Amino acid sequence: MTLEDEARQLIINGEEAAREARNTLKQKAVLQPQYELYLKVLTRSQRPKAARADDYLRVVRAMRDEQEFATLKLATDEEDSSIKGIVSSPLRVLGAYLERLPGTVVLMIERGFGVLTMFTLRGGSEPLEERIILERASKACVDSLVALMQQQDEDIERIRRLEPITNEFFERIERAAVALWTALPEAICSAISRARNVLYLPSSYGDLSAFPLELLYAEDGWLGTTRSVTRLSSIRTLLELLSPGRIPSKLDAHALVVRAQDSEELTKADVEADAVCQGLESLGLVAKVDRQPRVASVREALDRGMRVLHYCGHGFAGNLGEFLPLTAKETLGPHDFSQLSGWRTPFVYLSTCEVGRARMRTTGSAEGFSTRLIEKGAPAVVGCLDSVPDLVAGAMAESFYRSAATLPLGEALATARGACRKYPPACWGAFAYFGDPLLKLTAADGVVPQTRRKTLRWDSLVGRHLAVRSDDSRQQALDALAVARTEGGADADLLNKVAGWLESSFRSAPPELKEERLELCLAVAEKDAIAGCELRMLLAMESLQRSYFGKRKPRIVLLPEEVMLGLYCAKAVHDSLAWAAFAIENAHGGGIGYEPLRLLQMLEEAVGVLDGWRLEVPAAETLLSTARELKRDLQESHGNV
């Protein structure tokens, strides 16, 4: 048995024990060293790149999300060619979404055992194997990374001491930034150089979340001024960002500027608040300044469906937590976001110090202001990784909102950094962007542009159709499919078969046609995991709606295996509307295999999801009413479950 096989087996055994343990999270936290060892081994493995990359993503997912396990396979296991096996691969799902985003690259940096590992996956139509890079950072690279972080910290400390700004503040950090770029693996540099948008998932270990990737100096200049750099904490938040099935955001044309009253030291904060308010109004938003904020009022504003909430004031972050002082007696913390609905959370700009950083929990996942806001539905957040003078903070904010009139927000922040290059790089390089880089604050048709609209294809419209099952939803999917068929090329025959299926979807069909369509799902999934998954969910929902029983349909169909597969697939591709539809079918069928409390939790989640989807799919209103009725019935029949 090789070292790689031994490391894999350790994780498999450890996860089996964790699942059976009384305290699963505590037992899973013990696995961090095994995860790190396996990442190290993967960077030198001789297996095919795609197989190694899939294992890498599985382990990183488990390291950063306390609810997830790596679920590695034994070396002797054959590849699972079922739909469930295909969409269980984070690489297949991520690769399919990125194929729709040329010019985008995902970059992950994660700690291995005694090493630093780096992974990139490029967007575009090249074969998946050719888009993958998995490397180990050299000692020179790690030393250069540490040197750049130390130089930024040193510069910021000198600025705090009000030392005169000289050329030294620019030259020394630029030399450190060039040295790190030169020391990075060549393939990693090439992938970043070819990208316009960098989706960056830094490790939450130690100070790596504060590493200023934006201050790398490439051949064409600072990374943070020449490209959109977006930070994400986990693979789950990455896939949610990319998925057209993410719950739509309610972003009305209103904005609030919160001017905290925590300190009189911020002499420029009032000027910034007024300037930002004017900038927001120039974007066509109705904006106002709240100069007497309270925790309750800010929390309410975060769940009102406005487009922007801008905070001016102090911020504090440390090993024990983060908080924003609103007054001398009241502070806002990440825990205050727990009750947010998600689809009404606005874009948030935190013009304050340090709260862009993340702390690592014992399970390895990240925790902090930006992380929590993104998890609770904020489409994007701007925050600082370090302390900066309030003069720079104000200049960055004004430039950002000017740029936001015409640019997606990821590019707007890059433009703002460029406009503030008269200030030391350590200052403007501390401003980080989290969330959706393609979010815009202007909306010509009333709908704010987001990445989810860029990745929308016919397959995601199939997901909406299987949920609402209307003539309109069928036609929308067929229209989008017609566009794909004109560009189908070698896949034209498959797409023609899909079109024939869609035209007769949810109508009576002979039982043998189900097997034929299952084969079609698998054939499509081999080309595109997302499309195959959506079709398999359509097949499952048709079965639950009694389509494959010929003309003599039974009154009730109980197919718990189809419900479970639908829920699994919807979660894998982050199709929230389809998930809600299967949750309702699960409750309709009595929830076989589910405790009443779990059923109630699923229905509560479905209600929240459908409440948001009404914004974009009016037919979701009917599903919402059904979910609420089922929830009431369950509560009445089982008491206070």
What is the per-residue pLDDT across 576-606, written as a single tens digit (0 to 9) for each?
Answer: 999 999 999 999 888 787 888 999 999 999 9
* CB 216, CB 177: distance < 8 Å: yes
* CB 287, CB 256: distance < 8 Å: yes
pLDDT of residue 351: 86
Question: If we measure between CA atoms, which residue out of 225, 208, 249, 221 comes closest to residue 63?
Answer: 208
pLDDT of residue 271: 86
Q: Judging by beta carbons within 10 Å of its beta carbon (0-12, 13-18, 19+), is residue 368 exposed, middle or buried?
A: buried
Q: How far apart are CA 128 and CA 134, in angstroms?
A: 13
pLDDT of residue 334: 80
pLDDT of residue 367: 64
Parallel, antiparallel or unpaired: strands 431-435 and 228-231: parallel
> For 544-583, what is each residue's pLDDT tens digit?
998 988 776 666 677 899 999 999 999 999 999 999 999 9
Mean pLDDT of 59-80: 87
Question: If we measure between CA atoms, which residue out of 122, 109, 110, 96 comes closest to residue 198?
Answer: 122
Q: How confident is the model at residue 221 (pLDDT cuts 50, 70, 90)?
A: very high
Domains of the chain: 3-104 (no CATH), 238-446 (3.40.50.1460), 457-538 (no CATH), 558-641 (no CATH)
> For 478-534, what is each residue's pLDDT tens digit?
999 999 988 866 688 899 999 999 999 999 999 999 999 999 999 999 999 999 999
How far are the Cα atoms of 178, 195, 292 from residue 223, in angstroms, in the given order? Answer: 11, 11, 38
Rg (CA), the chain: 25
> For 290-328, what is each residue's pLDDT tens digit?
989 899 999 999 999 999 999 987 766 555 456 787 887
* CB 350, CB 324: distance < 8 Å: yes
Say whether pLDDT at 262 is over 70.
no
More confident residue, 26 or 474: 474
* Ramachandran sector of residue 124 (left: φ over 0; alpha: ψ -120 to 50; beta: rest): left
Q: How far apart are CA 496 and CA 492, in angstroms?
A: 6
Maximum Cα–Cα distance for the chain, whole Å? 86
Rounded to 5 degrees, φ, ψ at 529 are -60, -35
Q: At residue 490, what is the residue type?
A: A
How far are the Cα atoms of 165, 175, 177, 228 from residue 200, in angstroms, in the given order? Answer: 31, 23, 17, 10
Q: At residue 156, what is the residue type?
A: I
Q: Hey, is 558 helix, strand or coil? A: coil
Question: Token digits for 618?
Answer: 């009016």
pLDDT of residue 574: 96
Confirm whether pTM is higher than 0.85: yes
Question: If we measure between CA atoms, which residue out of 69, 67, 90 comes closest to residue 14?
Answer: 69
Mean pLDDT of 140-159: 95
Say whether pLDDT at 136 is over 70.
yes
Q: How far apart are CA 364 and CA 385, in angstroms?
A: 19
